[in-house]
Chains A and B, each alone.
Chain A
Amino acid sequence: MEINPIVLKFVYAAVVVSVIMGLCSYAVLAERKISSWIQGRVGPNRTALPLVGGIPILGPFLTRLGIFQPIPDGLKFLFKEDVLPGHVNKFYFMMAPVISLVPALTTVVVVPFGRFVNEAGDVVPLVLANVNVGLLFLFAISSLGVYGVVLAGWSSNSKYPFLGGIRASAQMISYELAMGVSVLPILMWVNAPGKEGTMNLFDIAVAQNGFWFAMWMPLSAIIFLVCLFAETNRLPFDMAESETELVSGFHTEYSSFKFGLFFVGEYAHMVIGSCVFTLLFLGGWNPLPFVTLESLGMGQGILGAVLSVGIFLGKMCAMMFFFMWIRWTLPRFRYDQVMKLGWTILLPLSIANLILYIFIIYYLDTGL
């Protein structure tokens, strides 16, 4: 049976988006659980599904883990009163949550989740759109997410959200630079003279069959990671929300499902950020440095595809854990510290790093 490839793409897209949304809701649960563990609490442990919760041993165990908690968490957003304050600019106020979520979900299309070796022996990436400018596309679209925040801050027509929006945009501009410069060494390495030029995320992951980039470009990895925290508005960089100063920052005026969209958007950004970091620096779906699935003899067919996706998702979840772990370790920066760190430390450092690797890669490529 021939399936229309366009229909197939739609099915893939639906699957990927629902997986991402599922990941987001469980990321919220993980966040709550991890924060409670770090703070010596128990965390959500009451919500039980009538049937599943009744299974002896397993049911109470899952309930204590809070596995069913995301369902009421989501329903809560749907059933709460949706307040539309009278003083807001209605159109942009409604647009903002959508604008902050859409880029996060759009960037998913260029992120390869694994690979599949078909009968002919070709390695096919499991990705929605295998575009050549993958990385560029990703940077371009994901930074659009900040428009949602800025628009929310501006259209709310009140002071705290406004300050939050301003901060978000300033922060985005300062860290985007360092972030872009810090990945240039990778692109230089992948696009060595004589090779076909590419910015494809899949090719970058494949280039890490030996060394992972985090191993021989640790400085790039650290700068990229710090910028990633800033870009996703996570602590210690969540200046846009900063409850202690700005009530709730850009989403102060939002309620119920519109707030829910922002909330999911933040986690979606985090999921994508983790994916990208895994692809760029942590070797994608290679189980260990210098060990690929092929060299283990498990790279073929469906098994190989499932393994690659599994390893990739495993690394991604580890990154998500790291995001949350940092959040409950570091206090929030002051705003001037954020700016100072971005402009006077990270940017010069990333440029120095770039120059260093220009020389290293030049000598490696020309063989001294």
Chain B
Amino acid sequence: MPFVIKRKPLNLMEKLYLPEIARGLSTTFKKIWEKPVTLEYPEQRPTIPEGYRGVPTLVRDPEGREKCVSCQLCEFVCPPKAIRIVPGEIPEDSEYAHVEKGPKEFDIDMLRCIYCGMCEEVCPEEAIWLQNQFSMSGYSREEMVNNKDKLYELGGTLPDEHFKWNKKKDAAAKGGGH
């Protein structure tokens, strides 16, 4: 509902204007001596709050496996279509072959990404995370596309305790599985 704020009529001192200027000057003069509130960026870094949405990255589990199973849900949900995934099989000679799939290629175009965090939210495997890195730069468009290696390098390891793949592998060995 609209309402009107009543303005006080100006008193004589305010109408004369100059006293008010003097008051303003004294305010700004006091400000000169106060400590600056700005950070000197490259040396001083801001503290990143909990739940910050920085550059999206891929993570591995504590045993070094990639958690992503290339279900492509993130690719599908990504509003600006920043993610491109080429799904692939895990090679035969790997210990983890036949358990799940893995991405062959995984590119996130950081010129498109809007840091919305939808990919993190949708991922069933908790494989993609928006972490703390907030500044990205490059000299070409190609440089601004994070490929799979880069994503894992940025992502690091997620210290979770599920070890889902081990369980699946055990189950498969006992004849269960898919």
A residues whose Cβ falls under 8 Å from a Cβ of B: 34, 36-42, 45, 222, 325-326, 328-330
Which chain B residues in 12-37 approach chain A with CB under 8 Å?
18, 21, 24-25, 27-29, 31-32, 34-37
Taken together as a complex, chains A and B put the C-alpha atoms of A38 and B25 apart, in Å, by 10
Q: Mark interface residues in B26-69 (1 if CB within 8 Å of A CB, else 0).
A: 01110110111110100000000000000000000000000000
Cα of A330 to Cα of B23 in the assembled complex, Å:
11
When A222-B18, A329-B21, A330-B21 are in contact, do A41 and B28 touch as well, CB less than 8 Å? no
In the assembled complex, which residues on chain B have CB atoms less than 8 Å from the CB atom of A329?
Answer: 21, 24-25, 27-28
Indicate which residue in A34, A40, A325, A328 contacts B37 across the interface (CB closer than 8 Å).
A40
Q: Which residues of chain A are near B29, meaning CB under 8 Å?
A: 325
Known contacts A222-B18, A329-B21, A330-B21; is A38 also within 8 Å of B38 by CB?
Answer: no
Report yes or no: A40 in contact with B24, Cβ–Cβ below 8 A.
no
CB closest residue in chain A, given B39: A42
Contact B32 A38, beta carbon cutoff 8 Å? yes
| Chain A contacts for B38, CB-based, 8 A | 40-42
Closest 3 CB pairs of A and B: A40-B37, A37-B32, A329-B28
- Of the listed residues A40, A45, A328, A329, the one surrounded by the most CB atoms of chain B closer than 10 A to its CB is A329
* Chain B interface, DSSP helix/strand/loop, else mixed: helix
Q: Could you say which residues of chain B place their CB within 8 Å of the CB of A222? A: 18
Could you list some 20 contacts between A and B, CB below 8 A? A36-B36, A37-B31, A37-B36, A38-B32, A40-B31, A40-B34, A40-B36, A40-B37, A40-B38, A41-B36, A41-B37, A41-B38, A45-B40, A325-B29, A326-B21, A326-B25, A329-B27, A329-B28, A330-B21, A330-B24
Q: Known contacts A40-B34, A325-B29, A329-B24; can you find 20 more A-B pairs with CB under 8 A?
A: A36-B36, A37-B31, A37-B36, A38-B28, A38-B31, A38-B32, A39-B31, A40-B31, A40-B36, A40-B37, A40-B38, A41-B36, A41-B37, A42-B38, A325-B25, A326-B21, A329-B27, A329-B28, A330-B21, A330-B24
A42, B36: Cβ atoms closer than 8 Å: yes
Query: Hey, what's the 0/1 contact readout for B66-97 against A, CB within 8 Å counting as 1?
Result: 00000000000000000000000000000000
Q: Which residue of A lies closest to B32 (CB)?
A: A37
B28 to chain A, nearest CB (A): 5
Complex interface residues of chain B between 125 and 141 (CB less than 8 A to chain A): none
B24 surroundings in chain A (CB, below 8 A): 329-330
The distance from the CB of B16 to the nearest CB of chain A, in whole angstroms, is: 11
Task: Enumerate chain B residues within 8 angstroms of A328, measured Cβ to Cβ.
Answer: 28
Collect the chain A residues with CB atoms within 8 Å of residue B28's CB. Answer: 38, 325, 328-329
A328 → chain B, closest Cβ, in Å? 6
Residues from chain A with Cβ under 8 Å of B37 in the complex: 40-41
The interface residues of chain A lying within 8 Å CB-to-CB of B18 are 222
CB distance from B98 to the nearest CB of A (A): 58
CA distance A189 to B29 in the complex (A): 35
